[in-house]
Each structure stands twice: as C-alpha cells, then as structure tokens.
Chain A
Amino acid sequence: MKALMFGWEFPPHILGGLGTASYGLTKGMSLQPDMEITFVIPKPWGDEDQSFLRIIGANQIPVVWKDVNWDHVNSRIGNFMSPDDYYHFRNNIKYDFRRIGTDDLGCINFSGRYPENLLEEISNYEAVASVIAHAIQFDVIHAHDWLTYPAGRFAKQISGKPMVIHVHATDYDRSRGQVNPDVYRIEKEGMDAADHIMTVSNLTRRTVIEKYHQHPDKVTTVHNAVEPMANVEEFTKSERNDKVITFLGRITMQKGPEYFVEVATRVLQHTKGVRFVMAGSGDMMNKMIRLVAQKGIADKFHFTGFLKGRQVYEMLAESDVYMMPSVSEPFGISPLEAMQVGTPSIISKQSGCAEILNHVIKTDYWDIDAMADYIHAIVKYPAMYNSLRENGLAEVNNIKWEYAGQKVRRIYDMVCGR
C-alpha cells in the first residue's frame, strides 16, 4: 500500500499540533510492513527524520519547465533530492503554471508557515500536487487539514485514486462559530470530494456531519495518540513552596484563556501557596495581562511568553496541575504530554481528547467553580495528585500511534476496495 500524503508541517519545525500529529501518525503507520508513505510539505528544512518515510518538499518540485543543467540543480537542491528526481518531476509538468511566480528552477517559493497570502500559497500547493500526482505511483491520497485539501482533490482528479482527508480542526473550532467563508468553502469542497473523512475526535466528527453536511457513514473518528517520550526522567519537578497551575498554548479565543484567569481569581481568594502561569503567546495575550491586573492577582499570576521544544516539557513537568479550558478543541495533545511527565490535567469536556482519557479531570470550560474546586483538591489532597499522576501515566502509555495507524490502514483498505 503506497500512500501519498499532503501535509503542512513536519517536526522539528512546527507551529501547532498538526505537525506533531502528522509525525506520530506516519511513524505509527510505518510499523506496518507493506506501508510506503510519501509525505509532501511546502518547505522542508532538511533536518526532518526521513528514516520511515519519504519527504518531498513542494518548493523543490518544478511546476514550470526551465532548462537547467545537472550541476546547477545539484548545487541548488542536491542536499534534499537527487537531480535525477528533479528531472523526473520536470518531465511530468502537464499544465501551464507560468502565471505563478517561480525561481530559476521553475519551483515555487513556499513560506511553510501561515502567511498573509495563505490562500495563494494553498493554490500554489495545488499546482505542485498536479506534478507529483503525474510523476509518482501511489494507491491512496491522504490530505491533512484544510490547507492541503485542494492539493489532494487535484491529485485525485489526475490519478483517479481514492482520497481520504484527515480533519485535525475545522474553522468552527478556530473561530467559535464565526467562520471565514473562504476557509469554509475550501473545507467543504475537500470533504465533498473525499472518499472518506477521518476526524481526530467524535466532537469534530459531529461538526463535520452537522456543519459540513457530510454523510455519517463517510466519517470515521481516529483519535490521536502520543509519541512515547524517551527522556522522560530528565524532566523533574524542583522543590518549591508554592504549587504551580499552568495554562500552556496559544493565547487565543479558542483556548479559553479568560476562563483560566477567572479560575485563578477564584482559587486565590481562598487558597494560599498557589501560583498561576500562563505560557504561550497569542492575540489575546495583552488582554489577559490587563484582565489579570484588573482582578488584582498579578503578584500570583505569571506570563512566560512563547515556549518551544524542550521548554514546553520543562514547564509541564514543573507544574502541579495543567489546565486546558479550551472552548472547542478538536483533539488537544498537550494534556497527554502533561500526563507523560506526570502532571495531572484538568481539561474541558469540549476537548476531543476528553473522549479517550479517564484519569484526567473533565469539566465544562465555563464551569469556573468546578475547575477551581478541582485545583484546590489536587493541591491540598496528596492522594488526589498521586492517583491522577500514577493512573494517568499508566493510561497515557497505552495510547499509541500504532493503533491509530492500524485504524487508518483499515480505512485505506476500505476505500481501495481491498
């Protein structure tokens, strides 16, 4: 079974959960002996782990025929891809894409991020997909998230192979219901064209069925998992007098940061020896800083700014409670990461991961009293902390990408009629 996957990011250079999930899923699927995965991303950095799959950078695929010699190609992109491959792709340019601005190799310059001209970048990605679809052999197309749906659709049109799409989030989650019509259109067209739709949670599955009018039979939930951490014992908690409760993530409307501030206010009114930390950055950060000042809890409430890589796990491990009061979270992998380093989590019921986790605290995102109560319990009753920690560790170590990969494989087999 050969799968052609379209993604947007891949570790180690990631901006959100999409990259982590792409990596975990492909790695889990690579455990199946007959699985060959080609993963397309807009802009590889060269340090991606290619041991279990082949990564193609869209910015190295020619879409406009340019007469260039072997040495030039080798000097330009030789460290990513062999020039022979380049010529093979060049021979498969079937459409005229000269309207798109390209470089000396006929390739498009992708930012690989989420730029202002995102819609343009998406359609450029579609052009690249056409070349790839002509050039290589595959049995199934797998598109991750809305940015890649148009590319997947085009590849399907060209090759006639079945397409599955993987919904990691919808615009309904990102915008609390105020959807961007352009984004909605791309999502809807992608879903309509797909042979099967995979969602990361039942919550997202419901959104896909209800808001995008997809037939329930066509939509299957494949819950995310978490990569086992090799160096988990490196992350330990240092001795401290105060207990730390942490919010970690983009400080945006979707993540419900204002509820975290409210909870902090509630807890601090009645409990001593507790500190709150809001880690991350986002468009609501300044508003939150003002809110904290207004509530008069700034001496116990701290902002760290954006954390990356190792810092994230250090912060999680140093915390006594991790909180994710997301208003709408398609899956939400961070509570699983917190559990891996032994930190109890409080998550909103509106998070997809709540569907598969038992040993976490689940409340409604708006239920400030309940969240405050649980924080108090975890901080004051050691048995509560220890139980959540031990049971949580055991639970999270059993959530494996391998199983998710097998589920995806069954869907491949189904759409391929095997």
Chain B
Amino acid sequence: MKTINFCFRVHQRPNLKRYRFFEIGNDHYYYDDYANESAIRYASDNCYLEANRILLDMIRSSNGNFKVSFSISGLALEQFEQYAPEVIDSFKELAKTGSVEFLATPYGHSLAALYNEDEFALQVNMQANKIKELFGKKPTTFANSALLYSDEIGNTIASLGYKNIIVEGAKHILGWKSPNYLYSHAYNNKIKLLVRNNKLSDDINYRFSNWSWDQYPLTAEKFIGWIKDAPEAENIFTVFMGYEALGILNHKDSGIFEFFKALPFYAIEQNIGFELPSEICKKNKPVDTLSALYPMSWTDEEKDVSAWCGNELQNEALTKLYNLTERVHLCSDPMIKVDWQLLQDTAHFFFMNTKHYSDGMIYAQKIPYESPYEAFTNYMNVLSDFIERVNAQYPTDIESEELNALLKTIRNQEELIKKLETKKKAAKK
C-alpha cells in the first residue's frame, strides 16, 4: 500500500532591529519586537490556528487515519509562548489524537550542523526536551533545519540517538533513484533515510496558487492521481514543506484548505494511506543506500548550502559567530544563551546572499533588507556587540581550554566549601 507522509516545518525567523555601529557597547537588545510579534500573530491567525483546526477535523473525521508530523523549532515554541499561547494549545490538542508526530530538529533554525558538532548536539537535546515537556513524547525522527544533511551529519545525528532522518531528494544525490522509497545511510545501515519528494512538495507549496502553471488548478483528485500512477513498488511519498503553505504562501481564498480537506477521501478511494515517519521506518526496509559527501539542503535549484554560506559576507559572519561557541558554552549568563540561539538563525545569513541579488528573484519570504550589504552590516554590528559581551565574561587572553580548567577548579572549590560548611553545621549541632 502506498502511503503519504505529510510533514510541516514551523518556524518564524527572529527579526533584528536596525542596529547602528555607535550602539555597539551601549545597547544589548537586538530585536525588532514589533516585527516579531506581528509576524507571529499574522502567521497564527492566517495559518497555524486555522490549519491546526482543519487538520484536527480531518484526523477526527477519518478516525485517526489521516496523519501528519510537525517539525517545530524551539524558538518558534518560545515565540508562541510569548505572543500566541493558543497556538501551543492547539498543537497539544493535535498531539492528543495520537495521529501526529513531532520531529526532532535543532532548537534554533540554525546551521550548527555544519559548523559545530557540540552546539548541534546541545540544540537537538534542548529541542527534544522542550517537545517532551510540551507534548509529552520524545521525538524519534529527525529533520534538520532546511533538511541539511551529509553522511557526516547523518552520523552525528545517529550518535544523538535518532535512527530515522528526513532528507532532501536532491537530484545530484539520488541520480536515477526515486525518492519514493526508504533508503539507508551510506555506511551505517541502521540509519534510515526518508526522502522528500520535492516535486510533489513544491506543487503544493509554490505552484498551488500559480496561475501560469500548466497543471493549474491543482485538485485533490489530480494530486492523489499522480501518486496512484506512480510505479507500484514506489510506496512512500514524503511531502515536506513550511507550514505557511497553508494560508500564507497560498491564501485561504486559493482553496488550499479545501484541497487538504478533500485529500483523505480521494486517498481512501485509491487505497492510499497516511503514515507517520516513525511508523514508515519501522514497517519498511531500506532498499538501497544514499551517499551525500557534501552537505545538501532543500533550498534553491542547487539543493546545496550556498544560500547561507556561499559568499564571503556569509562566511565571515558565520566564522565569527561559531568561533564563539566554546566561550558561550562556558558562560552562565542566561541572556547570552538566549541571544546566542537567536543569532544563529539561518535567515540572517540568507539575507546576505548575493547569488540572486542582481536578477531580482522573488523569495517565499519577504526580505527586510534592501541589499545583502545592509543585512551584513546590521548583523555584524549586532554580532560585534555580542562578541564584546561574551569576551567581557572572561578575559580574552586566556585560552578556552585553560579557562575551562580554571572554572572547574572554582566549581569544585565551591562544592567543597559547601560540603565542609554542612559538616561544620552538623558538628556544631
């Protein structure tokens, strides 16, 4: 039986405020609260709440046979808690149906997987704990930010305890292979790879409201028909996109919600089911291995990482940022930890992209900067202030390793003092 595996990514980028260089050292708050709040409110009203309600209806009316999974970043959950707590409640309600799976993903929508393994591990664990705390279940399937994946990243993910990974169906990785099977890691056959079908995903995400598309309008019947017409042996169709496809990228009036509501009926008619990633991985055996020597992602035509680290501006910013990792890990200041997460968001680096700057390409998300240079300047000013703050915690002339040892001594001492004091008290009594 063929199955459809619907996954949605939920994340809203943190917006930086206009931060001039003369504020470096004076102002330690970097965010445009108004933009952040209104983005979350807008997305909640037009997409998250509405779409959650419809998906919940679909699950209930199909007796739990309709299933979806979500990859919600920790930052998004924090933002919901702050600006739109009802969204969390509606996700909780979805979680209760048992037909919904929450995927593991880095806490911030970050590139940590490419730059720092320790930070990556930390973020994945933070995220898993947050999901457990809110929805009561630890995730078992992993979907990286922008589906970043390579053999090496796959290994790291496995070492964190996730054996099921969703990856992009990039042409240069698949070659002649079809994305509609279960695959395994290049040399670790315990790791199972679910491959995103980017054609079907983009049909809904980018082309559903595109009048000039030759298949317009896309109906549920047509969509299910394509899946039915696929060769019999191809049995897993992973459709993964930003949740904003429902209600924002495709406006409510485009009929996107009706399209989704109709899907289960046509699917049942054609004997096509819906399953969660963890179920698919449990039931199926990998047919082959997939090897990705270089990192790939779901972005752009090239499906590589050049959207975030393709030019000198981006590399400079990312190197400066991730050079801080060890120091930040040593810090105990909670504000630094929070800013650290927010400054890692992929969007900051995406805005510095010069690749399409000249040809006036239109992106799914509106770019709040006039040029990549403006984005870079603003980010670097913020980062310069952040670096100063981190360095102010500990003198820069001490090597991180040495510092680590010193800190350990201090902590041990503190513990010892405490112990002795309690002993002293006990002795006095």
Contacts and interface: CB of A to CB of B under 8 A. Distances in A.
A155 B381 CA distance: 59
Contacts of B372: 387
A354 to B, nearest CB: 11
Interface string B294-322: 00000000000000000111011100000
B316 A372 contact: no
B358 interface: yes
A386 B371 CA distance: 16
B20 A384 contact: no
Given A358-B358, A377-B381, A391-B354, A383 B376 contact: yes
Interface string A358-381: 110110000001101110110011
Given A358-B357, A362-B371, A384 B377 contact: yes
Contact of B315 (A373, A383, A388, A390): A383
Nearest to A269: B22
B371 A361 contact: yes
Contacts of A395: 358
B157 interface: no
Contacts of B316: 381-384
Contact of A372 (B21, B315, B380): B21
Contacts of A269: 22
Nearest to A344: B373
Contact of A376 (B21, B313, B315, B376): B21
A98 interface: no
B370 interface: yes
B21 A373 contact: yes
A297 to B, nearest CB: 15
A358 B371 contact: yes
Contacts of A134: none
B380 A270 contact: no
Contacts of A382: 316
Interface string A308-330: 00000000000000000000000
B370 A362 contact: yes
B182 to A, nearest CB: 42
Given A377-B380, A377-B381, A391-B354, A384 B373 contact: yes
Nearest to B316: A383
B381 A369 contact: no
Give the residue among B316, B374, B377, B380 with the most A Cβ atoms within 10 A. Answer: B377
Interface string B333-365: 000000000000000000000100110000000
Given A362-B371, A381-B316, A381-B380, A266 B354 contact: no
B96 to A, nearest CB: 49
Contacts of A390: 312
Interface footprint category on A:
20 to 34
A374 B377 contact: yes
Contacts of B384: 380
Contacts of A266: 22
Given A270-B21, A382-B316, A383-B315, A373 B377 contact: yes
A377 B358 CA distance: 21
Given A386-B312, A387-B311, A387-B313, A377 B22 contact: no
B307 to A, nearest CB: 16
A382 B312 CA distance: 9
Interface string B144-188: 000000000000000000000000000000000000000000000
Contacts of B376: 377, 381, 383-384, 387
A373 B381 CA distance: 9
Interface string B124-139: 0000000000000000
A384 B313 contact: yes
Interface in B37-78: none
Contact of B312 (A374, A380, A387): A387
Given A383-B316, A387-B354, A377 B377 contact: yes
A372 B357 contact: no
Give the residue among A269, A380, A382, A383 with the most B Cβ atoms within 10 A. Answer: A383
Contacts of B381: 373, 376-377
A269 B384 CA distance: 18
A226 B357 CA distance: 22
Nearest to A266: B22
Contacts of B370: 362
B54 to A, nearest CB: 42
Interface string A250-271: 0000000000000000100111
B20 A369 contact: yes
A383 B372 CA distance: 12
Contacts of B377: 373-374, 376-377, 381, 384
Interface in B229-269: none
A386 B373 CA distance: 11
B22 A383 contact: no
B70 to A, nearest CB: 36
Given A373-B381, A383-B315, A361 B20 contact: no
Given A270-B22, A362-B370, A373-B377, 9 more contacts: A358-B371, A374-B373, A381-B376, A382-B316, A383-B317, A384-B377, A386-B312, A387-B312, A390-B312
Interface of B: 20-22, 311-313, 315-317, 354, 357-358, 370-374, 376-377, 380-381, 384
Closest 6 CB pairs of A and B: A383-B316, A377-B377, A376-B21, A383-B312, A373-B20, A270-B22
